[in-house]
Amino acid sequence: MKSVLVTGGAGYIGSHACKALLAAGYLPVTFDNLTTGWRDAVKFGPFEQGDLRDRGRLDQVFAAHQPVAVMHFAALSQVGESMSDPGKYWNNNVSGSICLLEAAVAAGCMEFVFSSTCATYGDQDNVVLDENSAQYPINAYGASKRAIEDMLHDFGAAFGLNHVIFRYFNVAGADQDAEIGEFHQPETHLIPLMLDAIDGKRAALTIFGTDYPTPDGTCIRDYVHVCDLVDAHVLGLKWLEQGRGNRIFNLGTGSGFSVREVIEQSRAVTNREVPFVEGPRRAGDCTKLVSGSTRAEQELGWAPTRSTLDKMIADAWRWHQTGHYSD
């Protein structure tokens, strides 16, 4: 069985990727420092604890498992924090990625799937965002991801590192078997915050900004089911194995939902009221981010079959009710 090194494999998206990789016939090797990930989420292959900035540790893991590819999810990802502490994001995300890329090349592991973000595009209202759209990140999180994309291009040119980059939109939902799910401390994502409020685990959801130039005044985002998302990553790995070259793909549905629309759908799915309060805008938040690309569908054969708002909320609610990770 071929091994794939999954950085951040103890996190939300990374753990779902590990399950999808195992189902596709690969052995996922999780590499995580457990700063934001959970040991309980590592269920589908070996676990190696370490920090991406520790080159010696990376070399040990590459030598021990001899992965054929890397899936790189590990990153700090809170937009607000990246605005207040940008150095933390450049140090962790960029420095860690440089170390990882150098270790992969040194080990001869020349296939690399990178988890990027639509935040590299910045705030471009009324613009159809595709892979050729200009990148104007407005926060250090998006800027750090764009920098890693640039590094991948350079490593590809210098060493022949083959790579697929996925820029994706808001990720939601959970594993349909409720084995793994979305759990952050502190929690910053809309749907789990909303489910906490529905369940009485927090007093109320805060809507950050109600004066955006949208139909109901709240931000609009394109939501993708986490299982659809990781299916695309497996397809990206197969793309590289087939020698099809370096490629960038947006992963979105092309449909955007406002915060108020998500609240209303959650009320319908859970049959419970959503307590909320209105607050000011957060620094670094864009008005609208929606994908206009069909490249992943046309070239990868990717079909986001689970990415309806009711399905994403229902799966997240099922996971929410089973409990959370303990360590």
Catalytic (active-site) positions: 141
158: left (phi over 0), alpha (psi -120 to 50) or beta: alpha
Task: Go through the chain and tell me how many residues it has.
Answer: 327
Residues 6 or more apart whose Cβ sits within 8 Å of residue 280:
208, 209
- For residues 235 and 233, give the distance between their C-alpha atoms in angstroms, rounded to a whole number: 5
Going through the chain in order, the beta strands assigned E by DSSP cover: 3-7, 27-32, 47-49, 69-72, 111-117, 162-168, 170-172, 205-208, 220-225, 247-251, 256-258, 276-279, 288-289
The Cα-based distances of 148 to 102, 144, 160 in angstroms read 13, 6, 16
Residue 87: DSSP 8-state: H
Of residues 136, 130, 110, the one with CA closest to residue 252? 130
Task: Check: CB of residue 174 under 8 Å from CB of residue 118.
Answer: no
